[in-house]
């Protein structure tokens, strides 16, 4: 029974992702976001539990990737697709059998997420860090953006900007590229607790906690800052390392 516990947690991630897709398709953005958060929590703990119980195996690794594809690949694509459908921006669009073509650009995110997860499984460089934006970070950014889009007064310039169809389409392309880019990003994995060895991790964690405290009523706004901050800090860390 012990060896199945991590897989059960992984399947809870998968279930959260499927439920989030249903919520997003029915316009329940906040529910979809919290189900995505739940999936991320389960995704964090399944590997930890497997290591603690010493029951890691190839089945768990494959199941983890399949679950991540649903929760952090398909779900954010569905959210972005519906955001593009709901965008008030007048665009040149085409229809094929009553289906609008332009919003389907969102599904590039799902395709690149699948490629990102496949590369991660065979890339031995990503044991202590990441190459490319992790799929959970990408998914949470899109989920947070969807809440910001529908929670902010539509009279504000910020709302008009983030709900613009061309901005959303461009963001879909940029995020898809970041998923598979040869961009080293630090991971929150500690070999020791020394400040000197984990300076960037401690700074990021402290900054994230402070942002979550400041925006405790609007967690999605904190995430919209935290994910870009993570990328920028990683780039800065890479530059400093080269120097």
Among 130, 164, 182, where does a domain finish? 182
Q: How many structural domains does the chain have?
A: 2
Question: How far apart, in Å, do the first and last CA atoms of the chain sit?
Answer: 51
pLDDT at 96: 62
Angle between helix axes 58-69 and 5-25 (nearest 10 degrees) is 10
142 and 230 both lie in a single domain:
no
171 and 204 both lie in a single domain:
no
200 and 153 both lie in a single domain:
no
Provide the 8-state DSSP code for 133.
Answer: -
Q: What CATH number has the domain bearing residue 139?
A: 1.20.120.1760
Q: Is 127 helix (H, G, I), strand (E, B) or coil?
A: coil
pLDDT at 16: 95
Sign of the dihedral defined by the CA atoms of residues 133, 163, 161, 208, in that order: negative
Among 182, 203, 233, where does a domain finish? 182
Q: How far is CA 201 from CA 192, 193, 194, 198, in A?
A: 12, 10, 11, 5
The mean pLDDT of 188-209, rounded to a whole number, is 82
Among 182, 204, 232, where does a domain finish? 182
110 and 177 both lie in a single domain:
yes
29 and 90 both lie in a single domain:
yes
DSSP-derived pairing of the beta strands 129-131 and 99-100: unpaired
157 and 120 both lie in a single domain:
yes
pLDDT at 233: 92
**Helices marked H in 163-198 — which ranges?**
165-180
89 and 209 both lie in a single domain:
no
25 and 120 both lie in a single domain:
yes
pLDDT band at 198 (very low <50, low <70, confident <90, very high): confident
| Rounded Cα distance, 183 and 78, in Å | 26
Structural domain range at position 239: 191-243
pLDDT at 155: 57
pLDDT digits (tens, 9 = 90+) for 101-148: 788 899 999 999 999 998 888 877 776 778 889 999 999 999 999 988
pLDDT at 99: 65
Longest dimension (CA), the chain: 60
The mean pLDDT of 40-64, rounded to a whole number, is 81
State if pTM tops 0.85: yes
199 and 169 both lie in a single domain:
no
| Rounded Cα distance, 170 and 193, in Å | 40
pLDDT band at 95 (very low <50, low <70, confident <90, very high): low
């Amino acid at each position: 029974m012990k060896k199945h516990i991590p897989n059960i947690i992984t399947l809870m991630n998968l279930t959260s992702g499927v439920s989030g897709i249903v919520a997003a398709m029915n316009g329940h953005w906040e529910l979809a976001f919290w189900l995505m958060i739940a999936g991320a929590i389960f995704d964090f703990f399944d590997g930890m539990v497997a290591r603690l119980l010493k029951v890691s195996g190839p089945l768990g690794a494959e199941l983890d990737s399949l679950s991540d594809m649903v929760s952090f690949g398909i779900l954010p694509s569905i959210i972005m697709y519906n955001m593009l459908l709901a965008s008030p921006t007048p665009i040149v669009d085409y229809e094929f059998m009553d289906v609008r073509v332009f919003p389907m650009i969102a599904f590039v995110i799902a395709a690149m997420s699948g490629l990102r997860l496949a590369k991660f499984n065979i890339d031995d460089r990503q044991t202590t860090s990441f190459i490319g934006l992790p799929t959970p970070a990408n998914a949470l950014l899109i989920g947070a953006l969807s809440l910001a889009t529908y929670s902010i007064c539509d009279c504000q310039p910020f709302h008009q900007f983030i709900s613009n169809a061309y901005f959303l389409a461009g963001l879909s392309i940029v995020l898809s590229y970041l998923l598979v880019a040869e961009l080293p990003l630090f991971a929150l994995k500690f070999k020791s607790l020394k400040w000197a060895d984990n300076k960037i991790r401690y700074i990021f964690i402290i900054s994230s906690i402070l942002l979550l405290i400041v925006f405790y009523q609007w967690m999605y706004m904190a995430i919209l800052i935290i994910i870009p901050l993570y990328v920028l800090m990683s780039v800065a860390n890479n530059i400093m390392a080269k120097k």
